[in-house]
Amino acid sequence: MSRKISISEEIIRQSEQEGRLEQLNKAEHIGLMESMNKDLEEFRREYKVKESRSIEASSRAILTV
């Protein structure tokens, strides 16, 4: 009889038994997540601006072969 083996489920089960898993719902964790989200939002905004400037600059370039 065949048996399905899931490595990820085995790792999770083993980590739970060893007490290495932790719920990230404390105020400290939530504050860190909010801070990370703000940073990522800022980076995304900066990337969009750089991307649009790059597209504008490339549209003005004349390509010759």
Residue 17: is its pLDDT beyond 70?
yes
Torsion of CA 38, 36, 27, 8, to 10 degrees: 140
Amino acid 65: pLDDT: 61
Q: Is the pTM of this model over 0.75?
A: no
pLDDT score recorded for residue 60: 85
Q: Which residue has the tokens 């909010």?
A: 34
Could you tell me the pLDDT band of residue 4, with boundaries at 50, 70 and 90? confident
> Is the per-residue pLDDT at 54 higher than 80?
yes
Predicted confidence at residue 27, as pLDDT, reads 93
Distance CA 44, CA 51 (A): 10
Q: Where are the domains of the chain?
A: 24-65
Compute and round to an integer the Cα radius of gyration of the chain.
24
